[in-house]
Amino acid sequence: MAETQTEPRTADASSEEVDIFTLQALANETPDLISLGLGDPDSATADHIIEAAHRAIDEGRTGPAPTQGLIELRRAIANKLARENNVHVDAETEVLVTTGSQEALFLLIQSLVDPGDEVLVPDPRYPAYDTAINLAGGKIVLVPTALEHDFALQAADIEACLTERSKALLLITPSNPTAAVIPPDELRKIARLAIERDLIVISDEIYEHFLYDGAEHLSIGSLPGMRERTITLNGLSKAYAMTGWRVGYIAAPAEFIQAVSSLKAMINVHAPTVSQWAAVAALEGPQDAVREMRDLYAHRRRVLMDGLREMGFDFGSSQGAFYIWANISSTGMDAMQLSYFWLQQAGVMVFPGSGFGETWSDYMRFTLLQPDDRMLQALERMDNALNTR
């Protein structure tokens, strides 16, 4: 298992991120590639969502939208948050629709973080968080996670990293890349700590619908005293297989939404109008496709975990999202070397852990986003390559 830090430290955009882009470029040139790398759902967008987009086009509902988003969509988001998350917001003033959740992250960080402000971020983490915080002039403080807790963030580790400059805490549950889910009791401890230390909490809940083995998702914004200090970040790309539609959203106190909306108006005015009408149908229509996707990923998760165990790899319980965060140190190669090896010798793409944090060269992130036959073929190819090197 990779060593984790016990003291707070800073980070910046690393050269490992460039290496991953180079790896992707090579993957694009690889014949018969099987990708267990990118985190884009392989399911199709549900028919009723596509039909809603067609209707919007046929009826001419394609013109400019308010910067905050169509009121119909903001109401659908507010209703969804109340129904599924017990988070209650005003659709008129406390919801902003963004051009994907990555833009939501960028906008909220630029609006929230001043130069020198410390933002606590779990390690490992999605590298876009680093980029956004660095661009705002903030200081990233990495909070360690460990296999013994299935890589779920712990309140005690957060507290050990706090300083007088600590402004915000970023939570990602379920997590990318570790698939960790912060247990509700631990999340309540984190909420109490945030209140005591006057922290703003950014809660990234993009993978909330993908939970396994009895794991439970709790929105921290629903807890007592957290509504006024929580920024909920989410989107439709993962749960509804709408990655290319580019619809994300932020739910937060009205003053903050106003500030973020002003910045968004300068960047691209509003999220794509037709995509917003499709998002209304996604949130208000039947949810069968979401459940079917979750069941499909649960099955694939078992297939992938069984295959990785047979190869001698160790990993946490991976209770959420659609990833497996596996320790590959038994191969004798670091993660970047193994990524190149499998790409060149097996035609399989897997992302190295070093792309998600500087100390994670013993780990790799495997995705569940291939049909059974292709996933089994990838496992066979990887195993054969290791056994014949």
**pLDDT at 9 (0 to 100):** 32
**pLDDT at 19 (0 to 100):** 66
pLDDT exceeds cutoff 80 at 380:
yes
Reference 122, options 187, 185, 184; nearest CA is: 187
Lowest mean pLDDT among 14-18, 170-174, 330-334, 344-348: 14-18
Cis peptide before 183 (omega within 30 of 0): no
pLDDT exceeds cutoff 60 at 104:
yes
Handedness of CA 156, 316, 172, 219 (dihedral sign): negative
**pLDDT at 389 (0 to 100):** 84
**pLDDT at 45 (0 to 100):** 97
Torsions phi, psi for 45 (to 5 deg): -60, 140
Reference 177, options 375, 376, 371, 363; nearest CA is: 363
175 Cα distance to chain centroid? 6
Mean pLDDT of 199-213: 97
- What digits encode the pLDDT tens for the residues 216-231? 999 999 999 999 999 9
Mean pLDDT of 40-60: 96
pLDDT exceeds cutoff 50 at 10:
no
pLDDT exceeds cutoff 60 at 196:
yes
Report the alpha-carbon distance of residue 274 to residue 66 in Å, rounded: 13
- What digits encode the pLDDT tens for the residues 64-103? 999 999 999 999 999 999 999 999 999 999 999 999 999 9
Here the tokens at position 66 are 């308010």
Here the tokens at position 115 are 């130069």
**pLDDT at 243 (0 to 100):** 93
pTM of the shown model? 0.91
Report the alpha-carbon distance of residue 225 to residue 194 in Å, rounded: 9
Here the tokens at position 12 are 């910046």
pLDDT band at 11 (very low <50, low <70, confident <90, very high): very low
**pLDDT at 326 (0 to 100):** 97
- What digits encode the pLDDT tens for the residues 240-297? 999 999 999 999 999 999 999 999 999 999 999 999 999 999 999 999 999 999 999 9
pLDDT exceeds cutoff 60 at 15:
no
Map out the domains of the chain with their CATH numbers.
15-44+289-387 (3.90.1150.10), 63-284 (3.40.640.10)
pLDDT exceeds cutoff 90 at 20:
no
- What digits encode the pLDDT tens for the residues 291-339? 999 999 999 999 999 999 999 999 888 899 999 999 999 999 999 999 9
**pLDDT at 29 (0 to 100):** 87
The number of beta carbons lying within 10 Å of the beta carbon of residue 314 is 15
Q: β-strands 200-204, 166-172: how paired?
A: parallel
Here the tokens at position 84 are 């599924």
Q: Round the average pLDDT of the chain to a whole number and report it.
A: 93
Angle between helices 273-284 and 71-80 (to 10 degrees): 30
pLDDT exceeds cutoff 70 at 4:
no
Report the alpha-carbon distance of residue 364 to residue 326 in Å, rounded: 6
- What digits encode the pLDDT tens for the residues 134-183? 999 999 999 999 999 999 999 999 999 999 999 999 999 999 999 999 99
pLDDT band at 375 (very low <50, low <70, confident <90, very high): very high
pLDDT exceeds cutoff 80 at 193:
yes
CA distances to 142, 268, 271, 272, 302 from 277, in Å: 38, 18, 11, 9, 36
